[in-house]
């Protein structure tokens, strides 16, 4: 009964969504404000409806209602309640519902904003969100219904929403299959929702962009309204990517965090266009340029988001992320194609109205360097896209399926990432409109010198690897130029306002959140680059089988095998095998680590949990590979030393700070100036007394 209820609400949501889209179009074409308002209310209604439907699904998940096939697939009795709740996004049908629910949350938030000046956008924003939501709800209702149940028909088990025949009875399995043990991890609980938050939030800028194209109000209003949305979307997308990397590092047990897996790339591609968009909308706002380009970027981002949602759950590409084949593939491709074609058609129609207000004059001006940055991001996108579709292309043209692995991506994107680092150092120093080599040189020579000194120091003390040194030089250059920018701004303010240095710095940053938030993000990217360079270039590994008391040496570390214990935990359905090793660095005892293997009975699968010791200099990462249970003569270990990788995670925390700083709501400028004026009036009034 309750499953039918959940499904019923989904159907109602779909109808309401379709209505809101149609009512908005009719309303705006017939200039009926009432109809548009009705569309807006229908849109608002989707939020409580989908919330209710989601609650029903969570109820089924947490109450072991295995007659529902989705519940059967993603949970089991041995799973703790919090994992049963998060199993909501543990499979395709549930993820689609989760996606739709997030979209309902965001579009409701958007429709509740103050629309006074932008009322002509409203109906079209509703239309775009309604089309998107209707598509996803349609996929759920017709193909990937999370409320489908099992039925017993003539001795066969058949999945179906409603009784397939009059004599059919509901069939309830004793227990579910349970979530893949690899996914029963805190990182996996927050990684997918973060990614989805990022994905879904990009629908909002897209909706406004399309509204701008349809209404012909093609100034920078749409970018200004959606600036914060883009920032938050970008924040969640980045966090989702980083958390996914951290999860892989902690759980997958291959000593890495990023494998250029097609699904990782699918989530990375909208990040690339989103990052490019973040930069190029600034040029539109400051200089009235690149308007076509911004439209193309926002359209691409939206298409890649839908494409990414589809790829991450569909099993089209073989990958660690995909768990099942699905019938919805062609519909997703159709939807992506349709939105791309119609958006581009709209853009072409408005093409003449989106002319630049300024002309790009100098190759070294800020806008030219921003354009270059966009080109680099797009190039990386093309490289990624090519890598993902290459097997299909090669099969089509040569009949031979050829694939490219991680070395392809590393080799092809490496120089471009280096170029981005260089731009991060240089672009903030260039001026809008016009810069010359002399002005840029004057601004950057001190930082360059300092970075060169650091690089020479590293050459003597740390490494002679040329790629690493180029990388470290660029990182140092970014850190010095960005640091110098903070110092320069604050000391100028210190002189002019007579404040102390820290007060000047905080006020300066507070007044220019976007600029200094951006700089903090640049710093975080440079820190992340340190970690990536470290693990990519300097990772060391060794392996061996040890008897108790024997040791393995790697870098400066000595790892000594102490003991091993194996026990069952029937309540969790897991067998634990835990080894203990002593760690020494240059002969000095540091402590113990406990790498282990967890064996899940229900899934018949091992999970290899590394023993890790992290410092700023390197990570010691030890995997228990195998052991001899009876005689317990030995255990086999694989050991990695991952230099500097911690900076990747430190960088991501700095990143988080930077983006929250940039996106934090500023006081409305009008309001601030009014208040200042009234304060001044008060002062004058009191002075007159």
Partner 1 sequence: MKINKFFMGGALILAGVVYLIASSTQANAEYFMTVDELIADGDNAYGKSLRLSGAVIGDTVQYDPETLTLTFEIAHVTGDNKEIERQGGLALVLFQAVNDPTRQRVKIQYVGPKPDLLRSEAQAIVTGKLNEDGVFIAEELLLKCPTRYDEAVPEQAASN
Binding mask 345-374 for partner 1 (x = CB under 8 A): --------------xxx-x----x---x--
Tokens of 109: 């938030």
Q: Is the dihedral angle over the CA atoms 443, 446, 449, 454 positive or is it negative?
A: negative
DSSP bridge partners of 554? 557
Binding mask 1-40 for partner 1 (x = CB under 8 A): ----------------------------------------
SS (H, E, C) 35-76: HHHHHHHHHHHHHHHHHHHHHHHHHHHHCCCCCEHHHHHHCC
- Using CB under 8 A as the binding rule, whether residue 444 contacts partner 1 is answered as no
- Using CB under 8 A as the binding rule, whether residue 607 contacts partner 1 is answered as yes
End-to-end Cα spacing for the chain:
76
Short-list 195, 188, 154, CA closest to 171: 154
- Member of 18, 603, 650, 660 binding partner 1 (CB under 8 A): 603
Q: How far is the CB of 435 from partner 1 (least distance, A)?
A: 14
- Member of 80, 334, 415, 549 binding partner 1 (CB under 8 A): 415
Report the residue count for the chain. Answer: 689
Residue 207: partners with Cβ closer than 8 Å, 6 or more residues away: 107, 110, 124, 125, 128, 129
Q: In 462-538, which residue ranges form alpha helices assigned H by DSSP?
A: 466-497, 501-511, 513-538
DSSP bridge partners of 153? 156
- Using CB under 8 A as the binding rule, whether residue 548 contacts partner 1 is answered as no
Tokens of 137: 């709800």
- Using CB under 8 A as the binding rule, whether residue 665 contacts partner 1 is answered as no
The CA distances from residue 558 to 302, 467, 550, 619, in Å, are 50, 29, 10, 14
- Using CB under 8 A as the binding rule, whether residue 389 contacts partner 1 is answered as no
Stretch that binds partner 1, among 112-120, 334-342, 491-499, 621-629 (CB under 8 A): 621-629
181 half-sphere exposure, CB direction, 13 A CA radius = 20
- Using CB under 8 A as the binding rule, whether residue 545 contacts partner 1 is answered as yes
608: number of Cβ within 10 Å: 17
Instruction: Decide: 84 and 62 in contact? Cβ < 8 Å.
Output: yes
311 half-sphere exposure, CB direction, 13 A CA radius = 24
Q: How far is the CB of 430 from partner 1 (least distance, A)?
A: 15
- Using CB under 8 A as the binding rule, whether residue 161 contacts partner 1 is answered as no
- Using CB under 8 A as the binding rule, whether residue 433 contacts partner 1 is answered as no
DSSP state of 391: H
Q: Is 619 exposed, middle or buried (0-12, 13-18, 19+ CB in 10 A)?
A: buried
The whole-angstrom separation of Cα 308 and Cα 306 is 5
- Using CB under 8 A as the binding rule, whether residue 391 contacts partner 1 is answered as yes
DSSP state of 335: H
- Member of 251, 272, 303, 383 binding partner 1 (CB under 8 A): 383
- Using CB under 8 A as the binding rule, whether residue 465 contacts partner 1 is answered as no
SS3 (DSSP) at 10: helix
- Tokens 């029963």 correspond to what residue? 184
Q: How far is the CB of 387 from partner 1 (least distance, A)?
A: 8
Residue closer to partner 1 by CB (options 324, 449) is 324
- Using CB under 8 A as the binding rule, whether residue 400 contacts partner 1 is answered as yes
Q: How far is the CB of 413 from partner 1 (least distance, A)?
A: 8
What DSSP assignment string belongs to 76-125?
-TTS-HHHHHHGGGSSHHHHHHHHHHHHHHHHHHHHTS--GGGTTTHHHH
Residue closer to partner 1 by CB (options 57, 372) is 372
- Using CB under 8 A as the binding rule, whether residue 167 contacts partner 1 is answered as no
- Using CB under 8 A as the binding rule, whether residue 333 contacts partner 1 is answered as no
Binding mask 173-192 for partner 1 (x = CB under 8 A): xxx-x--x------------
- Member of 11, 29, 341, 382 binding partner 1 (CB under 8 A): 382
Residue closer to partner 1 by CB (options 493, 638) is 638
Instruction: Decide: 149 and 173 in contact? Cβ < 8 Å.
Output: no
Q: Is the dihedral angle over the CA atoms 331, 401, 267, 182 positive or is it negative?
A: positive
DSSP state of 431: P
Residue closer to partner 1 by CB (options 28, 624) is 624
Instruction: Decide: 600 and 573 in contact? Cβ < 8 Å.
Output: yes
Q: How far is the CB of 408 from partner 1 (least distance, A)?
A: 4
Residue closer to partner 1 by CB (options 53, 319) is 319
Residue closer to partner 1 by CB (options 77, 113) is 77
Q: Which residues of 393-410 are buried (b: 16+ CB within 10 A; e: fewer)?
A: eeeeeeeeeeebeeeebe
The whole-angstrom separation of Cα 82 and Cα 222 is 40
- Member of 63, 81, 167, 325 binding partner 1 (CB under 8 A): 325
- Using CB under 8 A as the binding rule, whether residue 159 contacts partner 1 is answered as yes
- Member of 150, 271, 293, 516 binding partner 1 (CB under 8 A): 150
Q: For partner 1, how many residues bind (rule: CB under 8 A)?
A: 66
Q: How far is the CB of 403 from partner 1 (least distance, A)?
A: 5
Q: How far is the CB of 424 from partner 1 (least distance, A)?
A: 17
What residues from 300 to 319 belong to the interface with partner 1 (CB under 8 A)?
318
- Member of 19, 386, 486, 576 binding partner 1 (CB under 8 A): 386
Residue closer to partner 1 by CB (options 401, 677) is 401
The whole-angstrom separation of Cα 432 and Cα 188 is 43
Tokens of 161: 């929403």
Residue closer to partner 1 by CB (options 73, 118) is 73
Q: How far is the CB of 108 from partner 1 (least distance, A)?
A: 34
What residues from 44 to 73 belong to the interface with partner 1 (CB under 8 A)?
66, 69, 72-73
Residue closer to partner 1 by CB (options 336, 404) is 404
Dihedrals φ, ψ of 25, to 5°? Answer: -65, -50
Residue closer to partner 1 by CB (options 390, 432) is 390
651: number of Cβ within 10 Å: 22
- Member of 33, 119, 324, 679 binding partner 1 (CB under 8 A): 324
Q: How far is the CB of 595 from partner 1 (least distance, A)?
A: 11
Under the rule (CB under 8 A), what is the footprint of partner 1? Answer: 66, 69, 72-73, 150, 152, 155-159, 171-175, 177, 180, 253, 318, 323-325, 359-361, 363, 368, 372, 375-376, 379, 382-383, 386, 390-391, 400-405, 407-409, 411-412, 415-416, 543-545, 603-608, 623, 625-626, 628, 634, 636, 638
């Amino acid at each position: 009964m309750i499953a039918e209820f959940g499904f019923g609400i989904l159907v109602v949501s779909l109808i309401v969504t379709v209505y809101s889209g149609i009512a908005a179009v009719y309303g705006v074409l017939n200039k009926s404000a009432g109809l548009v308002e009705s569309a807006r209310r229908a849109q608002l209604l989707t939020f409580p409806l989908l919330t209710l439907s989601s609650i029903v699904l969570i109820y089924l998940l947490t109450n072991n209602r295995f007659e529902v096939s989705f519940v059967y697939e993603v949970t089991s009795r041995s799973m703790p309640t919090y994992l049963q709740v998060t199993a909501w996004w543990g499979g395709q049908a549930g993820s689609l519902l989760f996606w739709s629910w997030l979209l309902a949350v965001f579009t409701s938030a958007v429709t509740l904003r103050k629309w006074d000046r932008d009322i002509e956008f409203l109906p079209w924003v509703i239309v775009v969100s309604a089309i998107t939501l209707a598509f996803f709800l349609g996929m759920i209702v017709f193909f990937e219904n999370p409320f489908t149940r099992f039925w017993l028909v003539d001795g066969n088990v058949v999945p179906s929403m409603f009784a397939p025949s009059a004599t059919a009875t509901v069939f309830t399995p004793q227990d579910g299959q349970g979530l893949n043990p690899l996914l029963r991890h805190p990182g996996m609980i927050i990684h997918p929702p973060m990614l989805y938050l990022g994905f879904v939030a990009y629908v909002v800028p897209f909706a406004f962009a399309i509204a701008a194209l349809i209404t012909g109000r093609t100034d920078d209003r749409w970018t200004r309204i959606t600036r914060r949305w883009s920032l938050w979307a970008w924040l969640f997308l980045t966090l989702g990517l980083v958390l996914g990397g951290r999860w892989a590092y902690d759980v997958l047990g291959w000593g890495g965090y990023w494998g250029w897996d097609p699904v990782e790339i699918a989530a990375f591609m909208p990040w690339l266009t989103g990052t490019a968009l973040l930069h190029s909308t600034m040029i539109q706002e400051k200089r009235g340029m690149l308007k076509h380009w911004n439209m193309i970027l926002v359209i691409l981002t939206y298409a890649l988001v839908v494409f990414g949602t589809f790829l991450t759950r569909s099993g089209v590409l073989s990958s660690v992320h995909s768990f099942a084949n699905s019938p919805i593939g062609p519909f997703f491709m159709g939807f992506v194609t349709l939105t791309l074609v119609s958006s581009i058609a709209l853009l072409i129609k408005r093409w003449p109205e989106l002319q630049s207000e300024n002309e790009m004059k100098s190759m070294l001006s800020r806008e030219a360097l921003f354009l270059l940055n966009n080109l680099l991001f797009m190039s990386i996108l093309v490289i990624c896209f090519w890598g993902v579709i290459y097997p299909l292309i090669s099969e089509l043209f040569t009949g031979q399926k050829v694939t490219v692995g991680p070395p392809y991506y590393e080799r092809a994107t490496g120089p471009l990432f280096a170029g981005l680092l260089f731009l991060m150092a240089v672009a903030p120093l260039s001026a809008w409109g016009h810069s010359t080599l002399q002005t840029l040189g004057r601004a950057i020579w001190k930082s360059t010198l300092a970075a060169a000194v650091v690089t020479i120091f590293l050459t003597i003390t740390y490494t002679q690897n040329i790629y690493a040194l180029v990388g470290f030089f660029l990182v140092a250059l970014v850190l010095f130029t960005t640091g110098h920018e903070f110092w320069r701004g604050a000391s100028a303010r210190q002189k002019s306002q007579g404040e102390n240095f820290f007060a000047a710095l905080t006020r300066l940053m507070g007044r220019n959140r976007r600029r200094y938030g951006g700089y903090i993000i640049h710093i975080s990217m440079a820190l992340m680059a340190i970690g990536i360079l470290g693990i990519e270039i300097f990772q060391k590994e060794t392996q061996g089988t040890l008897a108790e008391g024997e040791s393995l040496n790697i870098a400066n570390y000595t790892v000594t095998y102490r003991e091993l214990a194996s026990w069952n935990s029937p309540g969790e359905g897991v067998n634990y095998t835990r080894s203990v090793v002593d760690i020494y660095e240059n002969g000095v005892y540091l402590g113990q680590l406990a790498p282990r293997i967890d064996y899940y009975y229900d899934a018949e699968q091992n999970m290899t949990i590394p023993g890790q010791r992290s410092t700023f200099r390197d990570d010691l990462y030890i995997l228990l590979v195998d052991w001899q249970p009876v005689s317990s003569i030995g255990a086999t270990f694989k050991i990695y030393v991952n230099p500097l990788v911690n900076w990747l995670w430190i960088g991501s925390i700095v990143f988080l700070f930077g983006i929250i700083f940039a996106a934090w709501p500023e006081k409305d400028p009008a309001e601030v100036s009014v208040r200042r004026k009234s304060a001044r009036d008060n002062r004058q009034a009191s002075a007159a007394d």
